[in-house]
Amino acid sequence: MSLPEDPPFVGVCDDSNEAVIAAVRQLTRGTVWRVVSRVPLDFPAHHPQGVTRGSDHLLYVSSAEILEATRIYESPVDGFDRTPGQGVGHVFVTDAGGGELGHVTVGEGAIYHPGGIDFDGESLWVPAAEYRPNSRSIVYRMDPNTLEVREAFRFADHIGGIVRDRQNGLLYAVTWGSRRLLTFTPDGRLIHRVDNRSHFVDYQTCVSVGGGHMVCTGVTEYPVPGIGVFGLGGIAVVDVGSGRIEHEAPVTELSPAGRVVTYNAVHLETDGSTLRMFAVPDDGGTAGESHLLTLEAALT
């Protein structure tokens, strides 16, 4: 299936913070997500991590190209539970048909794993980190038109996703598995840190922020003896100050490769009666393996 000639993400929905947060608060355990389009990306998308929409209606996808996988140590080494591995961080620009319209690399050395990204109306915010917990990150500010990448700041932990509050200008970030919630000034001064009070789902990316709240999506994988792994997706409204989950709903819809759709890269928008999700959950070493999925859920 391909997107219709009038793509659903061109000018008909609202991805503002207040609208998305209000829509997510209406989701329940019984909410049904319907896949309305599935578009193959005509470039190797590698290991997608984040997706956001710019003011030009194009989508920006962050991704980690893994050249050498990390390996778990038998016992911690220098405070790390695994080797750093090797890779290259990417940000791709795509359109309704899944074409590659632009591309830039981010990171340096062992810092090659981009996380969830955000567009604040002017710039893209892109974190890149080592592919292991309790490590290091660089947060970049990127021009969506020229794809010029500038370092904003560095931080001594793994930042897995970042969003910017358009009202107060602050940045909110999550660490590995969203176990800690961080608040930064745009120049990288850490002004608040709190533990995530929920241990149900590891939120992989944040997609909106406003009024002291974030919307986060993610997955937890549970081993099933004799079968393999069951992945439970989730979407939540998180209070940034306290770390408490204020509203939460499961997501169980699967990608073409069998991953829950909130596995990594997700962007949300709404028209008031429908919540729309753009997701790139599957890895792709060659063109056409990864798909841009568009899903819709009717709001109550």
pLDDT (tens digit per residue) in 194-251: 999 888 889 999 987 888 899 999 999 889 998 888 889 999 999 999 999 999 999 9
CA distance 143 to 129: 20
pLDDT top residue among 228 and 14: 228
14 pLDDT band, cuts 50/70/90, is low
**146 lies in a domain?**
yes
Whether 41 shows a pLDDT value over 50: the answer reads: yes
Q: How many domains does the chain have?
A: 1
pLDDT of residue 33: 96
The overall average pLDDT reported for the chain is: 92
**232 lies in a domain?**
yes
Q: What percent of the chain has pLDDT over 70?
A: 95
Nearest Cα neighbor of 145 from 197, 177, 102 is 102
pLDDT of residue 10: 44
Predicted confidence (pLDDT) per residue in 50-92, tens digit? 999 987 789 999 999 999 999 999 999 999 999 999 999 999 9
**39 lies in a domain?**
yes
**In the β-sheet with 291-298, what is the strand arrangement from edge to edge?**
33-40, 291-298, 274-280, 265-270
**268 lies in a domain?**
yes
Rounded to 10 degrees, what is the CA torsion of 172, 175, 177, 179? -80
Q: How remote is the C-alpha of 170 from its chain's centroid?
A: 18
Q: List own/partner pairs for 231-236 with CB under 8 A and 24 or more apart.
A: 231/259, 231/260, 231/263, 232/201, 232/260, 233/201, 233/260, 233/261, 233/262, 233/263, 234/200, 234/201, 234/203, 234/262, 235/24, 235/27, 235/262, 236/24, 236/198, 236/201, 236/203
Both tokens assigned to 225: 């003896």
Whether 7 shows a pLDDT value over 80: the answer reads: no
**7 lies in a domain?**
no
The answer to whether the beta carbons of residues 178 and 198 sit under 8 Å apart is no
Predicted confidence (pLDDT) per residue in 140-185, tens digit? 999 999 999 999 999 999 999 999 998 889 999 999 988 999 999 9
Q: Residue 285: give the domain boundaries.
A: 17-298
pLDDT top residue among 106 and 4: 106
Whether 11 shows a pLDDT value over 50: the answer reads: no
Whether 192 shows a pLDDT value over 80: the answer reads: yes
15 pLDDT band, cuts 50/70/90, is low
**96 lies in a domain?**
yes
**45 lies in a domain?**
yes
pLDDT of residue 96: 82
Q: Domain of 220: which CATH number? A: 2.120.10
CA distance 57 to 15: 11
pLDDT of residue 13: 58
pLDDT of residue 208: 78
Whether 4 shows a pLDDT value over 70: the answer reads: no
Please list the alpha-helical segments (H only) found in the chain: 17-24
Helix (H, G, I), strand (E, B) or coil at 279: strand
pLDDT of residue 8: 47
Whether 1 shows a pLDDT value over 80: the answer reads: no
pLDDT of residue 164: 94
**186 lies in a domain?**
yes
Whether 9 shows a pLDDT value over 60: the answer reads: no
Count other Cβ atoms within 10 Å, centred on residue 136. 18
